[in-house]
């Protein structure tokens, strides 16, 4: 099977115009991107989906193409964008016409359903792989549904709720069968609000898979509130590691650990002041927000950094963490060295780190170990430090994927 997905983003959003100030709902901002991109990214995460076709209002096609071309990160799979038509079914037909030649299976998805999960998409694809001609996700209606008179004023009957399902998108189809159904719809002037109903009129079988309540359509101003997701606090960990080489006394820089001079220790060779502990600590802080490493930020080749106090480097890194909405909560530091003994300086180092970071000393753990005479630390050729930093990160985007529960 070669599967592509059509993302329908061509609606004018008439019902929501007033509430959104005129913006069609698929273009409403959500976590820094227009809402339709959320659906595209979810589809792109399904490995069996090989390409996307976007259908936009004609006036928006060129601007959205430019936007899609500059997405960071990009969608990671080929896409095309075409102009839609007056009705939904016209837009679907335009989308079907733009599928690549080798595509034999298509998913048709409404961009107004931004919260479909990859699991749901995979259920639709699984049913297609098992030979279904058409597949719809369906959920049992939460409300009792009534048939009413044409003017809506009188109840005529109450269908058995167990036999009702509310259908969603993405709907999946054999391309040939869906094209044939749309051709007949055009020829015989059928009106339909979804693609599956065209297959039904052609006498085809449509399978139902479990939909998701969270995959509801954005149709009312109240639904927009769901888009205003609160910022989320996530727990993150950064890890930093650094090694400095000892040199002959007087030929390097006097050893400092955590900003504290260590008298009697060997010198270290370094471009900055050589504080291996502060370097590892800075890298751990950077690790909490994927901020790179201090080698990148403060290259050895920069003459301005010659002999620089490493506390200044840490300060810069700390500011970057704050700008990235990261609040460091705890540091666990291990110094690995045969010499010098660290214990006599432990409290002075913790107090100084508390001063530099604003963390209470109870949140700064400092441990030391030797490597039992083994390796370069054992041979007294150098010193290493490892730091684990714990932090809270305030994030608009969830750092983990939310697993959505199927409802049926």
Q: What residues line the site for Mg ion (CB under 5 A)? A: 242, 279
* Tokens, residue 114: 């931004």
Quick check: bond before 73 cis, omega within 30? Answer: yes
3 state DSSP class of 3:
strand
With CA atoms as reference, report the closest residue to 135 among 88, 218, 46, 204.
204
Smaller CB distance to Mg ion: residue 10 or 285?
A: 285
| Cβ-closest position to Mg ion | 279
Phi-psi region of 76 (alpha: psi -120 to 50; beta: other; left: phi over 0): left
Smaller CB distance to Mg ion: residue 144 or 301?
A: 301
Rg of the chain over all Cα atoms, to the nearest angstrom = 30
Nearest distance, CB of residue 403 and Mg ion, angstroms = 41
Smaller CB distance to Mg ion: residue 204 or 279?
A: 279
DSSP per position, 105-144: EEEEEETT-TT--HHHHHHHHHHHHTT-SEEEEEE--SSP
* Tokens, residue 153: 């004023």
Nearest distance, CB of residue 244 and Mg ion, angstroms = 6
Smaller CB distance to Mg ion: residue 223 or 315?
A: 315
Rounded CA-CA distance 249/197 in Å is 84
| 232 within 8 A of 161, measured Cβ to Cβ | no
Smaller CB distance to Mg ion: residue 133 or 242?
A: 242
Smaller CB distance to Mg ion: residue 48 or 271?
A: 271
Nearest distance, CB of residue 285 and Mg ion, angstroms = 14
Nearest distance, CB of residue 266 and Mg ion, angstroms = 15
Nearest distance, CB of residue 100 and Mg ion, angstroms = 51
| 267 within 8 A of 247, measured Cβ to Cβ | yes
Nearest distance, CB of residue 296 and Mg ion, angstroms = 13
């Amino acid at each position: 099977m070669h599967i592509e997905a059509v993302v329908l983003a061509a609606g004018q959003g008439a019902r929501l115009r007033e509430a959104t100030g005129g913006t069609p709902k698929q273009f409403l901002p959500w976590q820094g991107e227009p809402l339709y991109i959320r659906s595209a990214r979810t589809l792109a995460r399904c490995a069996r989906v090989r390409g996307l076709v976007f259908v936009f209002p004609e006036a928006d096609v060129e601007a959205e193409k430019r936007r899609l071309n500059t997405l960071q990160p990009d969608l990671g799979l080929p896409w095309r964008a075409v102009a839609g038509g007056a009705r939904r079914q016209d837009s679907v037909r335009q989308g079907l016409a733009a599928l690549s030649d080798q595509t034999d299976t298509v998913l048709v998805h409404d961009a107004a359903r931004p919260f479909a999960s990859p699991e749901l998409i995979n259920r639709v694809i699984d049913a297609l792989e098992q030979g279904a001609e058409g597949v719809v996700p369906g959920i049992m209606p939460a409300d009792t549904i009534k048939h009413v008179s044409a003017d809506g004023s009188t109840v005529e009957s109450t269908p058995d709720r167990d036999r009702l399902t509310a259908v969603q998108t993405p709907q999946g189809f054999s391309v040939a069968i869906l094209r044939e159904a749309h051709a007949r719809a055009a020829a015989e002037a059928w009106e339909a609000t979804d693609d599956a109903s065209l297959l039904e009129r052609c006498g085809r079988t449509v399978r139902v898979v479990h939909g998701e309540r969270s995959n509801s359509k954005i149709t009312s101003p109240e639904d927009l509130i769901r888009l205003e997701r609160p910022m989320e606090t996530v727990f993150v960990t950064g890890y930093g590691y650094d090694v400095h080489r000892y040199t002959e006394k007087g030929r390097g820089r006097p050893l400092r650990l955590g900003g504290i001079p260590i008298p009697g220790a060997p010198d270290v060779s370094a471009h900055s002041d050589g504080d291996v502990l502060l370097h590892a600590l800075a890298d751990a802080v950077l690790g909490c927000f994927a901020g790179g490493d201090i080698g990148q930020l403060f290259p050895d080749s920069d003459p301005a950094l010659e002999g620089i106090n490493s506390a200044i480097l840490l300060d810069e890194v700390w500011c970057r963490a704050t700008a990235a909405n990261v609040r460091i909560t705890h540091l666990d530091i291990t110094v690995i060295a045969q010499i010098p003994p660290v214990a006599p300086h432990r409290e002075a180092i913790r107090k100084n780190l508390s001063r530099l970071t604003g963390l209470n000393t109870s949140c700064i753990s400092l441990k030391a170990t030797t490597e039992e005479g083994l390796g370069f630390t054992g041979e007294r050729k150098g010193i290493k430090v490892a730091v684990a930093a714990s932090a809270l990160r305030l994030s608009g985007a969830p750092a983990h994927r939310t697993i959505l529960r199927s409802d049926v």
